[in-house]
Amino acid sequence: MYSIEFTETSKNLLKKLDKKDEEMILNKIFSIRENPFRFLKRLQGEKLWRLRIADYRAIIDVVVSANKIIVVRIGHRKNIYE
What does the pLDDT look like over 20-70, one tens digit per residue? 999 999 999 999 999 989 999 999 988 999 999 999 999 999 999 999 999
Q: What are phi and psi of 3, to 5 degrees?
A: -90, 155
Complete domains list, the chain, with CATH: 3-76 (3.30.2310.20)
Give pLDDT, residue 62: 93
Give pLDDT, residue 79: 87
Give pLDDT, residue 46: 87
Confidence of residue 72 (pLDDT cuts 50, 70, 90): very high
- What angle, rounded to 10 degrees, do the helices at 8-16 and 19-31 form? 140
Confidence of residue 11 (pLDDT cuts 50, 70, 90): very high
pTM value?
Answer: 0.86
Give pLDDT, residue 43: 92
In this structure, which amino acid lies at residue 56? Y
